[in-house]
Chain A
Amino acid sequence: MNVIRWMVVLTVVIALGMAGSAYAGTLDAVKQKGYVNAGVSGKVVGFSAPDAKGVWAGIDVDFVRAVAAAIFDDPAKTRFTPVAFKESFTALQSGEIDILARNTTWTFQRDTKLGLEFVGTLFYDGQGFLVHKKLGVKSALELNGASVCTQSGTTTELNLSDYFAVNGMKYKPVVYESADEATVIYDTGRCDVYTTDASALAARRTVLTKPQDHVILPEIISKEPLGPAVRQGDQQWSDIVRWTLFALINAEELGITSQNVDKMKKSTNPSVKRFLGVGGDYGQHLGLTADWAYRIIKHVGNYGEVFDRNVGPDTALGLERGVNALWDQGGLMYAPPIR
């Protein structure tokens, strides 16, 4: 696969050369097309995957629907294209996709060198450990000498060796090509620990023979802020996407849900009035209508609703809010005010 690596390098070089020529006016292009085209990963549980009827579902998917709702007042005016990470940058640059929402980790290099513009964090993820209860392990620091199943060629593998080196522990890596394979091996007991991102661990646990016998350790050993990205050079478009994210979070903070959003229009709270476009037109600065945020909440719901619907405690993944709770509830979700 050396050729592919060269292709990527070549792509990036050419793309960097062309980065300056990125065209403005994504909003106009999107309005003209009549839909928002998003690049998604297409096979990550809870983030983006088609259901049995071929309808896309997931956090990333709902976020793109929110953008479409803000622009068109219709969350269905979306299109989802599965893209590989290698391909995603050129797909953005060539205008094939308007938003990259494929649970991509926001890193320094990707933001600066690759010319992606991350608009914020939609989901705070991090690498965790899954162990069998019978080991009696309560903390990752007790894992000295354990054999650890993981996937090859990912940052997961690097994080793992960093963590064990820093804490002066030894481990035996058991590396597999695919996550499916690694899960099966872990399930048969050939390794003591399975490690990957915490959200994926929760999904993987559900497919084990006896999910209730396994526990995810509290330590999270890496920062994986997953967020949507747009191409650099179109300020208006990145503002729209960024404030769609902030609107989702602000709505939860203000207690506005898809159920009560119509009632809330009559609220006397000035923050709520500004948010819903009742007092003052904030949408015009984005090139949208005054009720842009109302549309988002009406069609898609607030951040908490999106979270619960796709990965929350009632879904198969059963994730707790944890760090993804609002800032005033001990989490990291914090959005600048709309004023």
Chain B
Amino acid sequence: MTAKWTPKPSLPPPALEKGIGGWIYKNLFSSPGNAVLTLLGAALLLWAVPPVVRWALLDANWIGQSRSACDPLSADAPTGACWVFIKVRLGLFVYGFYPDPERWRVNIIFVVGALALWPLLAPTLFKHSRVQVVYSIAAVAVVLILFGAKPAGAALGFFGLPFLLARISLKKRLPTEAGGIKGIAPGAGLALLGALAVYGGLRWLLGPAPSGAIATLAALLCLPLIFAKPLSVMLWRGIFLFTVYPLFVFFMLVGGVLGLPHVETHYWGGLFLTLVVAGSGMVTALPIGILLALGRRSEMPVIKTLCVSFIEFVRGVPLVSVLFMASVMFPLFLPEDVNVDKLLRALVGITFFYAAYMAEVIRGGLQAIPKGQYEAAQALGWSYWKMMGLIILPQTLRLVIPGLANNFLSLLKDTTLVAVIGLLDLLGIAKAAMADVEWLGFTKEAYVFAAAVFWTFCFGLSRYSVHLEKKYHVRYR
């Protein structure tokens, strides 16, 4: 006789292993020591967080336009923060002394920059060309609504040209190896056509004066690009962001040539100065850093010596002294009638300073690439630049993302040091705001605000670097 075997129903997991209770037990109270630590931590949070929240949010003054809204004498409990102080001078914090009627120019570079950056930061969302097209049209429409026809014309060129360029190079793939007359003639024709188109567009946008020169420059820059391999819309976007956009920013901010009033860098300040310094520093320091790193590993003695001495010299001095040098000493060496803009001097100083640091980070990455990679490329008969550009550097840069992100973050925060040479960045403006006779005694608010803004940008940057790391699967396991 066979007894049918029926398994007993399985026992439920022990109470301490499941659910919220289990999680709490496992993670917070697994041993007496941990339990003590947990309780201490909770007590610390309870002690520290509520007063901060009460100060910054619950008891804070948000309403009003003048000092009296937060006057300690008029209110019964003057315990909270006075955000009115920040509110009334928000313009100063964001634009510095940039003249009021011209502030839209700062806005437009913010808006166009953000619109151009988004597809590059999140390329997965923009895989389909249809999404790209719709997004570009939307971007132009945003600019049209916010700023009017002429800026929209510029935006149309900025967002539309990548499609055109990608199409041209995809369809007419010119034989690069054949070269010679056959290759150059249609390329030159295309460049000429493009230059004419650019010239026409610029005439309409900016008036006659500088457009011819810019168009010629654009044509000259585009000529080699036509012979290059076909590039996707996305890549053209990237190229535009690093070539056309800085020019656009420069002309918009400085003015003078575009029928826009000239605004000297003396009037720049606040958050936008911080972003200009940090942005241009990051964009220019990285390529210089790569070149320095390659130079330091080069076998040519002159180049190697130059790179090593530059890097070691720059790493041996603090940034403050570099800025001080650029702002105070440099003008003394110049003839009296030559005057290099103070901001430009500071920018060059910061760029070279950070280039040296980035060079060392990148050199660390270069050393991690196995020798076989170099040898394989050389066995294929590739030139030095082709080997570096296509095999070594892509792997290197992927490896050094955390180090580079580190440098970028410290660059962003070090922009506050421009205050020592009389440029008022976000923190400088905040400090100046504390000395306003009408608004004495709101130092906490000013510092907290500046810290919050810096934290937002730095946190965004570091999250983006984590995203990049994940995307390129950098794992050291």
Chain A residues within CB distance 8 Å of chain B: 1, 3-4, 7, 10-11, 14-15, 18, 23, 39, 42-46, 48-54, 57-58, 79, 81-84, 86-87, 90-91, 93-96, 180, 203, 206-207, 209, 310-311, 315-317
Contacts and interface: CB of A to CB of B under 8 A. Distances in A.
Contact of A14 (B329, B339, B429): B329
A45 B317 contact: no
Interface residues of B, number: 41
Given A4-B324, A87-B421, A91-B328, A23 B336 contact: yes
B451 to A, nearest CB: 15
B311 to A, nearest CB: 18
Contacts of B439: 52
B438 interface: yes
A206 B420 CA distance: 28
Contacts of B441: 206-207
A57 B97 CA distance: 14
**Interface SS, A side:** mixed
B435 interface: yes
Contact of B443 (A90, A180, A203): A180
Given A7-B324, A87-B422, A206-B441, A50 B433 contact: yes
A82 to B, nearest CB: 5
A49 B331 CA distance: 26
B325 A94 contact: no
Interface in B59-118: 72, 88-89, 91-92, 96-97
A18 B332 contact: yes
B285 interface: no
B436 interface: yes
The residue among B89, B317, B440 with the most chain A CB atoms within 10 A of its own CB is B440
29 contacts: A3-B318, A3-B321, A4-B318, A11-B328, A11-B329, A18-B332, A42-B432, A43-B431, A45-B440, A49-B432, A49-B437, A50-B92, A50-B429, A50-B433, A50-B436, A51-B438, A52-B433, A81-B422, A82-B422, A82-B432, A84-B422, A86-B324, A90-B331, A93-B332, A96-B331, A96-B342, A180-B434, A203-B440, A316-B440
A43 B443 CA distance: 12
Nearest to A205: B440
Contact of A49 (B320, B422, B436): B436
Interface string B266-292: 100000000000000000000000000
Interface of B: 72, 88-89, 91-92, 96-97, 266, 317-318, 320-321, 324-325, 327-329, 331-332, 334, 336, 339, 342, 420-422, 424, 428-429, 431-441, 443
A95 B318 CA distance: 27
A18 B433 CA distance: 37
A14 B331 CA distance: 12
B321 A7 contact: yes
Contacts of B91: 53-54
The residue among A15, A44, A84, A95 with the most chain B CB atoms within 10 A of its own CB is A84
Given A7-B328, A91-B328, A209 B436 contact: no
Contacts of A91: 328, 422
4 nearest CB pairs, A to B: A207-B441, A49-B435, A94-B331, A43-B435
A14 B422 contact: no
A14 B72 CA distance: 51
Nearest to B264: A79
Given A3-B317, A15-B332, A52-B88, A79 B420 contact: no
A206 B440 contact: yes
Nearest to B430: A43
Given A82-B432, A93-B332, A316 B422 contact: no
Contacts of B433: 49-50, 52
A134 B339 CA distance: 58
A321 B175 CA distance: 85
Contacts of B440: 45, 203, 206-207, 316
Contacts of B327: 87
A93 B437 CA distance: 31
Contact of A90 (B266, B328, B420): B328
Nearest to B88: A52
A79 B329 CA distance: 22
Contacts of A207: 440-441, 443
Contacts of B428: 82
A90 B332 contact: yes
A10 B421 contact: no
Given A4-B320, A42-B424, A81-B422, A57 B329 contact: no
A51 B436 contact: yes
Contact of B437 (A1, A57, A81, A95): A57
A61 to B, nearest CB: 12
Nearest to B321: A3
A94 B91 CA distance: 32
B332 A46 contact: no
Given A7-B324, A50-B432, A52-B92, A316 B438 contact: yes
Given A7-B325, A23-B336, 8 more contacts: A3-B317, A7-B324, A10-B329, A52-B89, A54-B89, A54-B96, A81-B422, A84-B420
Contacts of B89: 52-54
A43 B435 CA distance: 5
B437 A315 contact: yes
A234 B433 CA distance: 35
B370 to A, nearest CB: 40
Nearest to A6: B321
A54 B102 CA distance: 14
B437 A82 contact: no
A193 B424 CA distance: 33
Given A49-B437, A87-B421, A317-B437, A14 B432 contact: no
A84 B437 CA distance: 21
A43 B432 contact: yes
